[in-house]
Chains A and B, each alone.
Chain A
Amino acid sequence: MPDINVLQLFQGIATLAASEPTIAISRIVLILLGILLVYCGVKQILEPLLMIPMGVGMASVNAAVLYLSANSMGTIFIDPLITDPAKLIDIMQINFLQPIYTLTFSNGLIACFVFMGVGVLCDIGYVLAAPYTSMFIAIMAEFGTIATFPIAIAMGLTAKEAASIAMVGCADGPMVLFTSLILARDLFVPISVVAYLYLSLTYGGYPFLIRYLIPKKLRGIKMDLKKIPRVKPGEKIAFSVITCTVLSLLFPVAAPLFMSFFLGVIIRDANIAPFRSFIEGPILYGSTFFLGLILGVLCEANTILNPKVFILLILGMTSLLLSGIGGIIGGYIMYFISKGEFNPVVGIAGVSCVPTTAKVAQKEVHAANLKAQVLPYAIGANISGVITSAIIAGVYITLLR
Chain B
Amino acid sequence: MTRGRLKFWIGGTLVALSGVAVVKGLAPFFSGYVQIAVMLAGYTLAILGLFIITLGTRRTGADES
Q: Report A's interface with B, CB cutoff 8 A.
A: 127-129, 131-132, 135, 229-232, 235, 238-239, 242-243, 246, 249-250
Contacts and interface: CB of A to CB of B under 8 A. Distances in A.
Interface string B16-49: 1101100110000000000000000001001001
Contact of A242 (B1, B19, B53, B59): B53
B57 A239 contact: yes
A128 B54 contact: yes
Contacts of A238: 9
Given A242-B13, A249-B24, 5 more contacts: A131-B51, A242-B16, A246-B46, A246-B49, A250-B19
B54 to A, nearest CB: 4
Q: A-side binding surface: helix, strand, loop or mixed?
A: helix
A186 B63 CA distance: 55
B3 interface: no
A229 B50 contact: no
Q: B-side binding surface: helix, strand, loop or mixed?
A: helix
Nearest to B43: A250
A239 B53 CA distance: 7
Contacts of A246: 16-17, 19-20, 46, 49-50
Nearest to A387: B50
Contacts of B12: 242
A135 B53 CA distance: 14
| Minimum-distance CB pairs A-B, first 9 | A131-B54, A249-B20, A246-B16, A128-B57, A229-B59, A231-B57, A235-B57, A128-B54, A246-B46
A230 B23 CA distance: 34
A132 B59 contact: no
A229 B54 CA distance: 11
Centre residue among B12, B16, B49 by max chain A CB count within 10 A? B16
A127 B53 CA distance: 12
A229 B20 contact: no
B58 to A, nearest CB: 6
Contacts of A235: 1, 56-57
Nearest to B12: A242
Contacts of B57: 128-129, 229, 231-232, 235, 239
B54 A250 contact: no
Given A128-B57, A231-B57, A243 B50 contact: yes
A242 B9 CA distance: 10
B53 to A, nearest CB: 6
A238 B51 CA distance: 14
B16 A229 contact: no
